[in-house]
């Protein structure tokens, strides 16, 4: 895609240029930093998923840090959990509060919604609650961890849930019956994050403390397939591309990309000035969002491995980030109960 194709017939003015970035402005007066990569022939290449991000909503409905976010498959509903011991449902388009789940004695630490939008799961203290959103029945409770559950994930078919805890274990559950399907005990320190690949074949777990390894398992057999050796910093979050080929991890201040089948390191993305706390990857696999204790959200182009844009505005740490399934919205949750909703505008080819 050329710069002329990106901006169609608009008047383009070149303000500055470097080896990796072109600074442009158009007739509207908006300034665009356009990242360029290199092709195999070393000719400059425009980042294909370059985006403009516009802040559309700031929600202040929570009374404490927003530590987890999930977006419904139809991209209409945002679900947030907070240290104020509530889970809230919001209209993603206009930011209106739709529903609040209260009554938790401990902070919900992770929320996920199933791919069919029928079930919501939340980790609270040492257990996981699963709600049937269609029937509104009381939640099913899964118990078994001896430590606080920090991370959960649901398989694409909605049948399996996995959970990770500082008790050094990953537990695998049958969503419909609530029964344990197995426990992984190979991590030597606390488990910080878990994820299931979109093709339903892989379970990925990451650990912190003295372990700091990433392990890739066969979800059906729980056999270990790959171990990515000890990382130089703490691993706070993991995500997997929609084609189930690329594993994304946050390691201290960096985002790392891996080949999920071979365990080969593909790229290191660096720009954050403080540790990253959360990451997400878009459904089309083209954009990564990372956020953390430097109070910013950064958008990365997966193909070119280049930084697209830095979003700012949070007054404190950014604890959670999510990209809507339709790719049009990014949501960030921060300290002091603030949620910021950004509209993403992808330039057409």
CATH of the domain at 186: 2.130.10.10
More confident residue, 154 or 105: 154
Residues 244, 315, single domain; the answer is yes
Q: What is the pLDDT of residue 256?
A: 98
Residues 232, 270, single domain; the answer is yes
Average pLDDT value for residue range 26-49: 40
| Residues 101-116: b if buried by 16+ CB within 10 A, e if exposed | beebeebbbbbbbbbe
Q: Is the pLDDT of residue 4 over 50?
A: no
Q: What is the pLDDT of residue 186?
A: 97
Token pair of 284, please?
Answer: 């089309």
Q: What is the pTM assigned to this prediction? A: 0.85
Residues 34, 120, single domain; the answer is no
Residues 17, 59, single domain; the answer is no
Strands (E), 96-199: 97-101, 108-113, 119-124, 127-132, 140-143, 151-154, 160-164, 170-174, 180-184, 191-196
Residues 92, 31, single domain; the answer is no
Residues 15, 88, single domain; the answer is no
User: 6 by DSSP, 3-state: which?
Assistant: helix
At 147-184, the pLDDT tens digits run: 999 999 999 999 999 999 999 999 999 999 999 999 99
Residues 160, 21, single domain; the answer is no
Query: What is the H or E stretch that residue 7 is in?
Result: helix 3-7
Q: Is the pLDDT of residue 11 over 90?
A: no
Residues 118, 88, single domain; the answer is yes
Distance between CA 234 and CA 223 in Å, rounded? 24
Residues 11, 147, single domain; the answer is no
Instruction: Give, in order, the Cα–Cα distances in Å from 136 to each of 99, 105, 139, 203.
Output: 12, 21, 8, 29
**Average pLDDT value over all residues in the chain:** 88
More confident residue, 232 or 78: 78
Q: In terms of residue numbers, what domain contains 19?
A: 3-46
User: 3 by DSSP, 3-state: which?
Assistant: helix
What is the percent of the chain where pLDDT is above 90? 82
Residues 26, 174, single domain; the answer is no
Q: Is the pLDDT of residue 224 over 80?
A: yes
Residues 279, 216, single domain; the answer is yes
Distance between CA 141 and CA 129 in Å, rounded? 5
Domain count of the chain? 2
229: pLDDT confidence band, cut at 50, 70 and 90? confident
Query: What is the H or E stretch that residue 37 is in?
Result: strand 31-38
Residues 35, 133, single domain; the answer is no
Q: Are 149 and 136 in contact (CB under 8 A)?
A: no
């Amino acid at each position: 895609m050329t710069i002329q194709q990106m901006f169609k017939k608009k008047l383009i003015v070149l303000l500055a240029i470097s080896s990796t970035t072109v600074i442009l402005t158009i007739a509207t007066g908006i300034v665009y930093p356009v990242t360029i990569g290199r092709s195999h022939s070393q000719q400059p290449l425009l980042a294909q998923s370059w985006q403009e991000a516009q802040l559309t909503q700031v929600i202040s409905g929570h009374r404490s840090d927003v530590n987890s976010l999930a977006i419904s498959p139809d991209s209409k509903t945002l679900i947030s959990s907070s240290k104020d011991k509530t889970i809230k449902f919001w209209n993603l388009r206009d930011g209106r509060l739709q529903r609040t789940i209260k009554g938790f004695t401990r902070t919900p630490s992770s929320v996920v919604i199933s791919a069919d939008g029928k079930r919501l799961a939340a980790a609270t203290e040492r257990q996981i609650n699963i709600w049937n959103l269609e029937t509104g029945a009381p939640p099913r409770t899964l118990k078994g961890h001896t430590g606080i559950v920090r991370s959960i994930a649901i398989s694409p078919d909605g049948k399996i849930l996995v959970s990770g805890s500082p008790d050094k274990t990953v537990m695998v559950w049958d969503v419909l019956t609530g029964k344990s399907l197995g426990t992984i005990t190979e991590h030597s320190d606390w488990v910080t994050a878990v994820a299931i690949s979109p093709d339903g074949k892989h379970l990925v777990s990451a650990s912190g403390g003295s372990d700091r390894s990433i392990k890739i398992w066969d979800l059906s057999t729980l056999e270990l397939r790959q171990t990515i050796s000890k990382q130089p910093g703490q691993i706070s979050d993991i995500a997997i591309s929609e084609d189930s080929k690329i594993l994304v991890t946050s390691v201290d201040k960096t985002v790392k990309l891996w080949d999920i089948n071979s365990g080969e390191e593909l790229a290191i993305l660096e720009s954050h000035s403080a540790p990253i706390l959360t990451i997400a990857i878009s459904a089309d696999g083209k954009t990564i969002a990372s956020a953390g204790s430097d109070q910013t959200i950064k958008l990365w182009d997966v193909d070119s491995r280049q930084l697209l844009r830095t979003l700012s505005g949070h007054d404190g740490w950014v604890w959670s980030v999510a990209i809507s399934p339709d790719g049009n919205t990014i949501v960030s949750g921060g300290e002091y109960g603030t949620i910021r909703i950004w509209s993403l505008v992808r330039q057409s080819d």
